[in-house]
Amino acid sequence: MPNPNRIFITKFIIFFITFLQSFNCQADISMLQKADSLFVTKNYQEAMVIYEGLLQNDQTYSPAMLLKMAFISEGIGDYSNSSFYLAKFYDLNPTPRVITKIKTLTEQNNLIGYELNDKDRFMKFLTDLQLEITSVFSFLLILSLTLLFVFKKNAEKPIHYLPSLIFLTLAFLTNNFLSQPNTGIITGSPTLVMDRPTAAGILLNVAYPGHRVVINSSKDIWYEVKWENQKGFIKKENITPL
């Protein structure tokens, strides 16, 4: 017979953890609203402190917050950070106007890493709906398993288990692999793009702040990146991950 005290403690712990998560989320939203109020009243420095705290802790923030941070940074002449916030915004909401603004801030007309083809747009659409897509496949998996249990006498052939296997695979794939690639913006000036993770490698290009790259992996002091459809290596000190 189950121990009533143990069951009560388990339920209490689950409730307490859920309550704390909800409380923290509400606190983050409250801080964001406070910062937005400060921004509206042109108390930019105070608003920026709160915005930076939310962003640093990867807490509740919106694309609009990134635009406000870019506006404040540009206003104080910090064009590097302004470009960073705009590039981070671009990852969430890719629009041509953002690219134009980054080009203006960095004084470069040929920035790479901001091109989006139809495949990229489709993947962006899927990754934005990752939670919903995974939930649908999980629901279909539970439904198929329920039907197998209800009609288990008639589910004698292996083909009857195929839908459950398919939904299980799709739910696993969308939950673990349907995500945006890691990206970063070049902040070092100048930045050397090498063909190998060593200063003795072949120089592929010399880049300046503003370029956006896909970060494939990390090795010692180097990032392996995608540079104009080829593999390149850039020192970590010259890239700020988005």
- Local structure of 230: helix, strand or coil: strand
Report how far residue 190's alpha carbon sits from residue 207's, in angstroms, rounded to the nearest whole number.
6
Nearest Cα to Cα of residue 208 among 229, 219, 193: 193
Starting at the edge strand that comes first in sequence, how are the strands of the sheet with 183-186 ordered? 203-207, 191-194, 230-235, 222-227, 212-219, 183-186, 239-241
Report how far residue 94's alpha carbon sits from residue 35's, in angstroms, rounded to the nearest whole number.
25
pLDDT tens track of the chain, all 242 residues?
Answer: 445 444 444 444 444 444 434 444 455 567 888 888 999 999 999 999 988 888 877 656 678 889 999 999 999 998 888 988 998 888 888 888 888 888 888 888 888 888 777 777 787 778 878 888 889 989 998 988 888 887 777 767 777 778 888 888 988 888 888 777 888 888 888 899 999 898 888 999 898 888 889 899 888 899 999 888 889 999 999 998 88
